[in-house]
Chains A and B, each alone.
Chain A
Amino acid sequence: LAKTTQPISMDSYEGQEVNITCSHNNIATNDYITWYQQFPSQGPRFIIQGYKTKVTNEVASLFIPADRKSSTLSLPRVSLSDTAVYYCLVGDSFSFQGAQKLVFGQGTRLTINP
């Protein structure tokens, strides 16, 4: 599984758009990019997944450039409840379908201030 690099921590304010960038220089052709969110005292929760270009759901958007060596998770108009750790993971479809282990890095600790 490709290694990922993301900032250790970020701070922002309520109502702002937050962008968290993840580097994955060794991503393979079959790899997908997936982001998980983890609140204190809870397990990680799936947010969004993409392969290329842009993906949007009710929670976030995921931007992936053509070379796929990085990706950016975008959270629109954040609130205090978006304070959490965000993990970027890269792996083939079997990984995210529960057929293989997930490999987590340290994640990005996002703090939203009033």
Chain B
Amino acid sequence: GAGVSQTPSNKVTEKGKYVELRCDPISGHTALYWYRQSLGQGPEFLIYFQGTGAADDSGLPNDRFFAVRPEGSVSTLKIQRTERGDSAVYLCASSPQGNYGYTFGSGTRLTVV
């Protein structure tokens, strides 16, 4: 596609539920990132994929958070047993590594009630 696509754009879930957030990167981009942005703050790094593998998952806050990219394209961020503190905008970005072109999607706004 023309840009990074994230679905859904908004998600409201109850505390304790499981959620999946999807990211479709720009076709051909090998690098894919997930960030989390709380209100009034800058984006905070969660995890970075190079191809299918997670090259850096040091930003995942705890083991309730997990992300996959099985075919090196679409990625899914999975959050188990959601808590109210997980409420934030989750941003995905992709890049054709080796060139400038870090492109962010518009994010998924997650609200845990």
Instruction: Check B42 against A97 for contact (C-beta < 8 Å).
Output: no
The residues of B that contact A43 with a CB separation of less than 8 Å are 4, 43, 91, 93, 103-107
Interface of A is mostly: loop
Contacts of A105 in B (CB 8 A): 42
Per-position contact with B for A81-108: 1 when CB-CB < 8 Å, else 0? 0000101000000001111111111110
**Chain B residues in 8 Å Cβ range of A13:** none
By a CB distance below 8 angstroms, the chain B residues around A101 are 33, 45, 48, 56, 59
Q: Count how many pairs of residues, one from A and one from B, have CB atoms less than 8 Å apart in the complex.
A: 63
Task: Find out whether the CB atom of A87 lies under 8 angstroms from the CB atom of B42.
Answer: yes
B residues in contact with A77, CB < 8 Å:
none
The interface bits of chain B over 27-54 (1 if a CB of A lies within 8 angstroms of the residue's CB, else 0) are 0010101000000111111001000000
- The size of the chain B interface, using a CB distance under 8 A, is 29
A96–B100 CB distance below 8 A: yes
Using known A-B contacts A104-B42, A104-B43, A107-B42, determine if residue A99 contacts B105 with beta carbons closer than 8 Å: no
Q: Main SS of the interface on chain B? A: loop
- Indicate the member of A46, A85, A98, A103 with the most B CB atoms within 10 Å: A98
**Is A98 a contact of B102 with CB atoms below 8 Å?**
yes
Pick the contact of B31: A49, A85, A99, A103 (CB < 8 A).
A99
Interface residues on A, range: 20 to 34
Q: Given A101-B56, A101-B59 in contact, is the A96-B102 Cβ separation under 8 Å?
A: yes
Q: Are the C-beta atoms of A102 and B102 separated by less than 8 Å?
A: yes
B85 at the interface (CB under 8 A from A): no
Of chain B, the residue at the smallest CB distance from A95 is B102
Residues on B close to A: CB < 8 A? Answer: 4, 29, 31, 33, 40-45, 48, 56, 59, 91, 93-107
Give A residues with C-beta under 8 Å from B: 41-46, 49, 85, 87, 96-107
